[in-house]
Structure 1
Amino acid sequence: MSAQPAEADPFDLGFEAEDDFSPPPATPWGDDPDRQILAAAQTPPPPPPPSIEPERAEADDDAADPFADFPPARPDLAGDVAEPVATYDPDLTTPDYEPSAYDAAAHDPDPVDDGSLALEMEAPEEVIEADAPPFEPLEPVEALNPVADLIADVELAMTGAGSDLGVPRISIHAFCALPATGDLIEAAAGDRRMSRASTTVRMGGLAAALEYYQNQPTPSLIMVESIEPAPRLLAMLDTLAEVCDPGTKVIVLGQTNDIALYRELLRRGVSEYLVAPLRPLPLIRAVTGLYADPATPFAGRQIAFVGARGGVGSSTLAHNFAYAIAERLHAGAVLADFDLAFGTAGLDFNQDPLQGVADALSQPDRLDPILLDRMLVKCSERLSLFAAPATLDQDYDISPEAFEEVAQKVRGAAPFVVLDLPHAWSAWKRKMLIASDDLVVVATPDLASLRNAKNIVDLIRQTRPNDLPPRLVLNQVGVPGRPEIPVKDFGEALGIEPSLVLPFEARLFGEAANNGQMVMETAPKSKAAEGIEHLARLISRREAPPTAKPSLFASLFKRG
């Protein structure tokens, strides 16, 4: 057997560095191809001799081209004459590109030149068509402002679009330059927070305001919209200031988001400057902020419970909801029972007060914080009860204004005020539903509740377009032997997803009512108790404080 040639050992150290790292042999393009190409590009080619013939020049070019025998890279460019490829060159003008002064300055390495490399250009002639219409300034288009929309959506979610007391009884005149702004102010004027104010909307902008107030007194608040430049806007505002009565406030609606302009407007006495695009709630809050009194007492959040029909458990849920706010979430709450003749709040909390809602409604003007504190019954450290007399000794013919005034004063007693509204429909109940910050509709899965709940929801959506929709609670679900509307179909018919679905637990709720206790006291681990606490967290936007775990030493000392 013949010996096989030995393969090269990759680990053999007997190599010559000069052999392995010697430079590559010279190529026809030079020692360094990159440098040769760069030098060729920078060196201008010599002019051809004048005596050379065209046929010979073509033959020499073919002989000198090393890629002449290669096929073309693109078949569509094959032929005697190849189509030129469009490339960008700042020093050349192509049919699709016209150099500008910016291009000449950008590609000039030395801005201070002697004139030899200056690019001479002729300004393009302006083509004017004979039948071209005259130029008209475009109407300002409402710009997109996602940041403003995001802030408004966050304020709507965090505040529920209604934790303020609204605008006082003032007169407002608005002069709009754009129709969209007029529609927005009219929508804001129809909001429940602006119900006490008298709002008038006119078109014409700031110029129309100047003309109108030459012979007319100015109202409490003037809103003017202007699309004029800043100098003209300031000049027109100075003219408006000359005809304004003392005490008149001015809000300017503009298109320019400029902090310098904003500061100048405030320096000249303008109360507020708002930039488009606007939304009803920020506009209402701006008006409310102008008339906010620091001495005004604190106003709590008003949450109203209403039943779609009698016997659905609206009062029971309202009482347990108030208890959950106070005892589980550790927030101050007042439960006001407005069912004067048949209220059950006193029974559910095992209280029998001498004075209550009926006494306050009979003389609402006398209800001050001291008298209100005497009428409230302390059910716990954080929960107070404003109970109804629940007697038929007299007829309760009370005006809606009295209910509104009493409810307004009760809001100053605690951060949360829960209203237990009766099933009967009246003018004051309508006012309470519209004026409440949050509304909870309690229904059972039957046809009568569905019809009445839809009427209530439609009314609230129509009268409160800028507020969150009401909450829906389906109670007594799963009664044995009773045909029921499915929960999904019930919510789809109203256009509202139920916030809480409570099963039918007659024994649990009956035992709690007979003992004068809440469900959380009778069965704190039950599904009903957990569901009511979930609803309290959802509406109040608060979480229960963490409970401190007892230490080992405390348990040992307790045993000892």
Structure 2
Amino acid sequence: MGNKSMEQTLTADTAPLGPEDRKQIDKVRPIPRISIQAFCETEAVALPIDKAGTDRRMAKAHLKVQMGGIKAATEHFQSAPTPNLVILESRLSPLDLVPELELLADVCDPGSKVVVIGHHNDVALYRDLIHRGISEYLVAPISVGDIMTVIGEMFVADGAAPLGRSIAFVGAKGGVGSSTIAHNVAWSISKLFSTDVVLADLDLAFGTANINFDQDPAQGIAEALQSADRIDDVYLDRLLAQCAEHLSLLAAPSMLDRTYDFDGDAFNALIETAQHGAPAVLLDVPHAWNEWTRTVLSRADQVVITAAPDLANLRNAKNFVDTLTKIRPNDGPPLLLLNQLAMPKRPEISAAEFTEPLGLEPLGEIQFDPGVFGNAANSGRMIAETDAKHPSVAVFNHIAHVLTGRGEVKKPKKPGLLDRFRVKS
């Protein structure tokens, strides 16, 4: 089969991953900047490898998939340098496979790692290949999760510190309360679980996190972006404003003394550094669509879309869902939060009618209450601080549980009559 038809088939394969495959991929850390070349004999193997290359965790890596197997690889590397990793599929028998690999070894750089995907489940063959320096032997069929796991195990250092989870909040339309939701959820995560949270206000011109938390730091996210080439944990700590015991803020300058135009990867180093220092990194993304917002949303571990129940929000939310599903093919769909419901004298789309075209169930629904939210914002406090029994607080706590993967805390059961007579061990 020629490369042209292979490319057409790969492009056509857009089926979402199953839950088990996605669960396997979620454990993989971002892959460093490496080069990978795969030489396959069947589309069944080439497709998952190619799909792995579209994953956000592979954003720094360069992956190329070709057909032809070991012979094609041998011919190619006679006149081309070998990459960091070579993936080879072969349907040869164990007796014929080893001689083919020996011919390839003559033209390969000794520093390159090699993964072989075979069609024979043979323990003796596996041991022989490992003894000869092959990094890993997989038996077809393989999944995207298999490929991602193998690459991660090879190129992510053992004992590396875990990365925090990055969660991006974005509004389907300006003024729908996405920033307010992000700030209150950050507060809930820090309070409910006593875990460190970094809230980054990415709206440099009009950010409100500093106001909502009654903070006026001298430095913040602008300085971090200006020093992206030398940012590290120590430098980032100096820029963070402490909002609560476990909640730190990377504030926006909220000034118009200059424009804030960024390259697509401008925030990558900052977000990765923050993930090294906190289990949860919440990103307050402005309602805009440019190269850097697209990159931030495409690479976040989870995306939360806040929308109000009108037609413009529905259209924009649909565009967000469709686009994010396309550019994040190995991730689940974004989460949806409906805000500002039941606004007096405003016609609105019901929650059922709003979510049906999106194919999503809302993560939560919050009623319009300008008094409570306005008072909290004007006093620089969160809703839970001003009115702990307000219904929105339960929604924020529920979102915090979902985003962190923690189950809701069950209330202790009241002791029954028989419990009083049970002897404690």
User: Normalising by structure 1, what TM-score?
Assistant: 0.67
Paired residue for 1:244, among 81, 98, 108?
Answer: 108
Is 1:377 the counterpart of 2:377? The answer is no
Paired residue for 1:363, among 201, 224, 227?
Answer: 227
- Cα shift at 1:165: 4.2
String of CA shifts for 1:100-122, please: whole Å, max 9, x gaps.
xxxxxxxxxxxxxxxxxxxxxxx
Question: Which whole-Å CA distance do the structure 1 matches of 2:204 and 2:315 have between them?
Answer: 26
- Cα shift at 1:379: 1.6
Corresponding residue for residue 473 of structure 1: 337
Aligned to 1:352, the other structure's residue is in SS state coil
Question: Which whole-Å CA distance do the structure 1 matches of 2:201 and 2:88 have between them?
Answer: 45
String of CA shifts for 1:417-448, please: whole Å, max 9, x gaps.
00001112221101000010000000001001
Alignment of 1:442-453 (within 5 A): 442-453=306-317
Corresponding residue for residue 219 of structure 1: 83
> Percent identity of the aligned residues?
46
Is 1:528 the counterpart of 2:364? The answer is no
- Cα shift at 1:275: 2.1
Matched to 2:183, the amino acid is H
Paired residue for 1:261, among 125, 142, 150?
Answer: 125
Q: Is the 8 A contact 2:21 2:143 kept in 1?
A: no
Paired residue for 1:156, among 9, 17, 22?
Answer: 22
Corresponding residue for residue 104 of structure 1: none
Alignment of 1:43-442 (within 5 A): 153-154=19-20, 156-157=22-23, 161-162=25-26, 164-294=28-158, 297-442=161-306
Corresponding residue for residue 501 of structure 1: 365
Question: Which whole-Å CA distance do the structure 2 matches of 1:512 and 1:439 have between them?
Answer: 25
Higher relative contact order (CA 8 A, sep 6+): 2
Q: 1:478 to 1:257 in 2, by over 3 A?
A: farther
Question: Which whole-Å CA distance do the structure 2 matches of 1:534 and 1:459 have between them?
Answer: 26
Matched to 1:189, the amino acid is G
Where in structure 1 are there 5+ consecutive unaligned residues? 1-150, 549-560
Q: Is the 8 A contact 1:329 1:544 kept in 2?
A: no
Question: Which whole-Å CA distance do the structure 1 matches of 2:336 and 2:318 have between them?
Answer: 11
Between Structure 1 and Structure 2, whose CA radius of gyration is higher?
1
String of CA shifts for 1:154-175, please: whole Å, max 9, x gaps.
4634x7x546442222221111
String of CA shifts for 1:314-359, please: whole Å, max 9, x gaps.
0000001111111012221100001111111111111111110001
Corresponding residue for residue 454 of structure 1: 318
Corresponding residue for residue 513 of structure 1: 377
Aligned to 1:419, the other structure's residue is in SS state strand
Aligned to 1:218, the other structure's residue is in SS state coil
- Cα shift at 1:199: 2.0
Question: Which whole-Å CA distance do the structure 2 matches of 1:216 and 1:416 have between them?
Answer: 43
String of CA shifts for 1:219-259, please: whole Å, max 9, x gaps.
21111001111122223223322322121010111223344
- Cα shift at 1:459: 0.7
Aligned to 2:357, the other structure's residue is in SS state helix
Q: 1:155 to 1:512 in 2, by over 3 A?
A: farther
Question: Which whole-Å CA distance do the structure 1 matches of 2:359 and 2:228 have between them?
Answer: 38
Which one is further off, 236-245 or 162-171?
A: 162-171
Q: Is the 8 A contact 1:446 1:485 kept in 2?
A: yes
The number of aligned residues is 397
Which one is further off, 194-203 or 364-373?
A: 194-203
Question: Which whole-Å CA distance do the structure 1 matches of 2:403 and 2:210 have between them?
Answer: 24
User: Normalising by structure 2, what TM-score?
Assistant: 0.88
Q: Is the 8 A contact 1:472 1:500 kept in 2?
A: yes
Q: 1:499 to 1:456 in 2, by over 3 A?
A: same
Aligned to 1:219, the other structure's residue is in SS state coil
- Cα shift at 1:206: 1.8
- Cα shift at 1:494: 1.0
Question: Which whole-Å CA distance do the structure 1 matches of 2:406 and 2:30 have between them?
Answer: 24
What's the RMSD between the two structures over aligned residues?
2.2
Question: Which whole-Å CA distance do the structure 1 matches of 2:39 and 2:141 have between them?
Answer: 16
